Amino acid sequence: MKIAFIGEGAMSPDIMAAQAKCIGNFEHTEILLPYSIEELASVEKVGVDAMPIPDAFHDLQDVDIAVCHFSAFGHKVFDLMPNLKILATLRAGTENIDDTAATQRGIACVHCPGRNAQAVSDQAVSLLLSEVYNVARGHADMIRGIWNNVYPTSSYTPILSGKTAGIFGFGNIGRLTAQKLRGLGMNIIVYDPYLSDADAGEQNVKKVNKETLFRESDFVMVHARLDDSTHHCIGASEFAMMKPHAWFVNNARAGLVDTDALIDVLKNHLIAGAGLDVFDIEPLPKDSPLLTLDNVTLTPHNGGGSSEEIRVYAAKMAAQGILSILDNAPNFQVMNPQVIQSDEFQQWIERANRELGR
Ligand SMILES: NC(=O)c1ccc[n+]([C@@H]2O[C@H](COP(=O)([O-])OP(=O)(O)OC[C@H]3O[C@@H](n4cnc5c(N)ncnc54)[C@H](O)[C@@H]3O)[C@@H](O)[C@H]2O)c1
């Protein structure tokens, strides 16, 4: 049984290999991709088929299981790995995996939904607090020797307790952000077209329509996923509904928001301020108008965190997803559990468990 661990700057393959030891005894190969995170993340815009194929992939003909992070997998890569049966990505999003192609080829796919949800929700709350309390502006001034405690938004710094936070997208991250903001004493309202009444009741949140969310929130927290249906789903008309002293936080994806419309309301102080971790072009170009505004807190797409603890957690989660397949009990991480039902896959599971010593 051979496993390939494919990492890059944001996730080293040795962490993946160390956490996969619970799978059993296997031969393995570690590949460190020669691309930057920005290059790899472009898969979200250009799709898997446009991504370059690393030379090292030509040596993976006998690999049974591949574990990756950002690496792109589509038909061309699958052609190079005819024995592949399980492909696991340590990401929650699956833009780097063509799961339709994988399913056609009988490859089971594993992902790690929620793997960095704690970190991203913590960061969303930190963006909110930093912007409201001028943390970044105060720090920048102090290191320039300036003692300033009056900023453009200071006159309407809110008491957070009792205010309303509107969660736009109530998935893994949105739910955690809601819990954390509730801990600060806020009322939570949620817009998510796929949230059932029963689920909203269980989570103790008020489900509202999109318009109500933008009109009633003192803080709009964006936590939806970007796809064709959500591209620019927040624009001039949504910003026009916001209260003049409401705040906007987006650490989900820039493409959800019409950035020109956001810049316009910020520049004209039609909303209080914004905290942003994600941008249409990353790294953010030096001439971006966002850099000229006095009511934004910007962070360089670091919502997911990059600590050892977060990486180990993700690698452990991927191993659990793989184990669930080997145990013939695919868990919530398995994207195409139907693949596992075939006779061929069942025979492979038997052989894999034998070879792994399970
Ligand atoms: N900043 C970072 O470093 C970072 C790290 C990880 C994830 N993210 C981003 O955070 C976001 C949330 O991730 P997640 O893991 O919670 O995703 P998720 O899939 O668990 O949740 C997304 C939610 O959005 C909802 N949704 C779908 N269409 C919608 C619409 N039109 N309007 C409102 N809601 C809608 C879905 O029903 C779902 O509940 C994603 O955009 C993800 O890419 C950012």
Instruction: Identify the weakest region by mean pLDDT among 77-81, 261-265, 301-305.
Output: 301-305
* pLDDT tens-digit readout, 98-142: 999 999 999 999 999 999 999 999 999 999 999 999 999 999 999
Alpha carbons within 13 A on the beta-carbon side of 200: 17
* pLDDT tens-digit readout, 307-346: 889 899 999 999 999 999 999 999 999 999 999 999 999 9
253 is an active site residue: yes
Nearest to 117, CA basis, from 11, 7, 201, 223: 223
Pocket of ligand 1 (CB under 6 A): 92-93, 113, 116-117, 120, 168-174, 191-194, 223-226, 230, 233, 251-253, 277-278, 301, 303-304
| Å from CA of 92 to ligand 1 middle | 10
354 is an active site residue: no
Q: Of the residues 111, 115, 253, 311, which is catalytic? A: 253
Start-end of H helices in the chain? 13-19, 37-41, 43-46, 75-80, 99-104, 117-132, 135-143, 172-183, 197-202, 210-216, 236-241, 259-267, 308-326, 343-356
Nearest to 207, CA basis, from 218, 223, 196, 219: 196
Tell which CATH classification among 1.10.630.10, 1.10.3720.10, 3.40.470.10, 3.40.50.720 matches the domain 2-115+306-356. Answer: 3.40.50.720
User: 2-115+306-356 and 117-298: same fold?
Assistant: yes
- The answer to whether the predicted template modeling score (pTM) of the entire model surpasses 0.85 is yes
Q: Are 208 and 190 a contacting pair, CB within 8 Å?
A: yes
% of the chain with per-residue pLDDT over 70: 100
Q: Given this model, what pLDDT does residue 311 score?
A: 92
CATH 3.40.50.720 fits 117-298, yes or no: yes
Residue 78's identity, in one-letter code, is: F
Q: What are phi and psi of 31, to 5 degrees?
A: -125, 130
Q: Given this model, what pLDDT does residue 140 score?
A: 96
Specify the ligand 1 atom closest to the Cα of 224.
24
Distance CA 184, CA 140 (A): 26
At 269, is the secondary structure helix, strand, or coil? coil
Ligand 1: which of 120, 231, 251 to mutate, judged by most atoms within 8 Å of the beta carbon?
Answer: 120
Specify the ligand 1 atom closest to the Cα of 304.
3
Average model confidence (pLDDT) for the chain? 96
**Mean pLDDT of all residues in 258-281:** 97
* pLDDT tens-digit readout, 274-300: 999 999 999 999 999 999 999 999 999
* pLDDT tens-digit readout, 149-183: 899 889 989 999 999 999 999 999 999 999 999 99
* pLDDT tens-digit readout, 203-238: 999 999 999 999 999 999 999 999 999 999 999 999
Q: Where are the domains of the chain?
A: 2-115+306-356, 117-298
